[in-house]
């Protein structure tokens, strides 16, 4: 009887070791998967929705940065400068310098068509766009909150649901994104 228990115990331990070795080998072989899993847990986004590891790494490095109106560094940053920094550093693209100019530089996207990296715009107690963030997937977006600094929030939270205006994706290469894109359109209507 003791021999059977000893053999069964040794088999169980052997299976556990083999299983652990296979798991360790498969995850350590792909550093991108490790990064995706890590950022997935921190930001609450499913790892299979994380196509651009550089985006999530950039956001992670800025999490907790305090809010500062007009700020553009890790000492303090506002929402539009944060989205601008994401686009310059992750996508090598320049967009406008405030949330309204950024909206003028994007193609509007419906909420259910958002993809990671798209911009999300809000009209908070205003008729004009007052806030912008960067969509991460699974209804999560990164932004510089005036009360809590750079953070990840959920579009389905009551506050964000109430003030959500639209999503946007930068135009393809044919349109140069500028800080005064809206002014050019207004001048065309005057002629």
Kindly report, residue by residue over 80-130, the tens digit of the pLDDT. Answer: 999 999 999 999 999 999 999 999 999 999 999 999 999 999 999 999 999
CA-wise closest residue to 90 among 121, 119, 70, 123: 119
Q: Please report which helix (H) or strand (E) contains residue 119, including its range.
A: strand 119-122
Over the range 13-48, which residues count as b (16 or more CB within 10 Å of their CB) and which as e? eeeeeeeeeeeeeeeeeeeeeebbeebbeebebeee
C-alpha span between 27 and 31 (Å, rounded): 7
C-alpha span between 93 and 81 (Å, rounded): 13
pLDDT at 1: 56
Residues of the chain with pLDDT under 50: 7, 21, 23-28, 47, 49-50, 174-191
Q: Quote the tokens at residue 91.
A: 């996508």
Residue 131 annotated as catalytic: yes
C-alpha span between 187 and 76 (Å, rounded): 35
Give the active site residue among 36, 81, 131, 140: 131
Give the active site residue among 98, 130, 143, 149: 143
Give the active site residue among 77, 79, 106, 120: 79
What Cα–Cα distance (Å) separates residue 65 from each residue in 33, 52, 74, 148, 172? 26, 22, 6, 8, 31
Say if CB 132 and CB 122 are below 8 A apart: yes
pTM above 0.75, yes or no: no
H-state helical runs in the chain: 2-28, 31-43, 53-62, 79-90, 99-104, 158-163, 181-190
């Amino acid at each position: 009887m003791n021999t059977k228990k000893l053999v069964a115990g040794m088999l169980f331990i052997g299976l556990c070791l083999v299983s652990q070795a296979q798991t360790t080998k498969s995850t350590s072989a792909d550093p991108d998967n490790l990064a995706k899993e890590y950022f997935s847990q921190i930001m609450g986004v499913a790892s299979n929705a994380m196509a651009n590891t550089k985006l999530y790494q950039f956001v992670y490095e800025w999490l907790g940065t305090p809010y500062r109106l007009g700020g553009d560094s890790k000492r303090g940053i506002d929402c539009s400068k944060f989205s601008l920094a994401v686009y310059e550093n992750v996508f090598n693209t320049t967009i406008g310098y405030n949330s309204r100019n950024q909206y003028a530089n994007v193609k509007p996207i419906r909420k259910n068509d958002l993809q990671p990296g798209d911009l999300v715009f809000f009209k908070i107690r205003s008729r004009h766009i007052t806030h912008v963030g960067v969509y991460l997937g699974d209804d999560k977006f990164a932004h510089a909150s005036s009360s809590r600094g750079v953070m990840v929030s959920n579009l389905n939270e009551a506050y964000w649901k109430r003030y959500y205006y639209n999503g946007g994706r930068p135009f393809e290469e044919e349109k140069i994104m500028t800080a005064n894109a809206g002014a050019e359109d207004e001048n065309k209507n005057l002629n």
